[in-house]
Structure 1
């Protein structure tokens, strides 16, 4: 059952649990105004015991550097809790942002949330973040 955790005029964030993954779907703009809301929602989920996340960006219409910054901040928090993070449904435009920022190699990026949740999470998969494991 999908639960909404942020509802704002320019962004909505909801989550569902699939195969031990907490799939967080972001719908709308991720910018200086909305990024802190997304960060706080993710921290709340961590506080509730969620550890393994798929960040579904398929409905993101805009993302600036604050959006990338919130992904890094969330990753650090998840890592502190020995969790996992996969990113899903990234548009080609957004994938270019990940490329230009040098962040693409640091994350497991999947074409869809369904593909990202096919295998169960492995604790500590962020142990070598921000560098990809070999």
Structure 2
């Protein structure tokens, strides 16, 4: 059971989210989701995302679902939108059809 803070947390991702950086994002999101019921992930400064970065988002979304929390993606630009559409994960990660 998690003891969530009612205040939302904001995690900001910048640059490339790939094999070299995804583990750091994964840790930041996991920590934020343990402490807060709602976590906003700002992706507006992301210039590239590969499948490892996508895996970090899926893992965070699953953690949020499991703990009764919520992961909200904001500032989704072209690099992330394209990957979400190609993988069919747009609805799962953003709630959009």
Report the TM-score range of the alignment, normalised by the length of the smaller protein. 0.7 to 0.9
Alignment length, in residue pairs? Answer: 91
1:84-108 deviation per Cα after TM superposition (whole angstroms, max 9, x unaligned): 1111111133212111110111133
TM-score by length of 1: 0.61
Q: Which stretches of structure 1, 4 residues or longer, exceed 3 Å deviation after superposition?
A: none
> Residues of 2 paired with 1:105 and 1:97: CA distance?
12
Deviation at 1:42, TM superposition (A): 1.7
Unmatched runs of 5 consecutive residues or more in structure 2:
1-5
> What secondary structure, in the 3-state scheme, does the structure 1 residue paired with 2:59 have?
helix
Alignment equivalent of 2:86, drawn from 91, 100, 110: 100
- Whether 2:20 is the aligned partner of 1:41: answer no
Q: Equivalents in 1 of 2:58, 2:93: separation in Å?
A: 10
Offset, 1:20: 3.0
- 2:44 counterpart (58, 71, 86): 58
Instruction: Report the structure, 1 or 2, having the larger strand content.
Output: 1
Q: Which has the higher contact order (CA 8 A, sep 6+)?
A: 2
Shift of 1:64: 0.5
Radius of gyration: which is bigger? 1
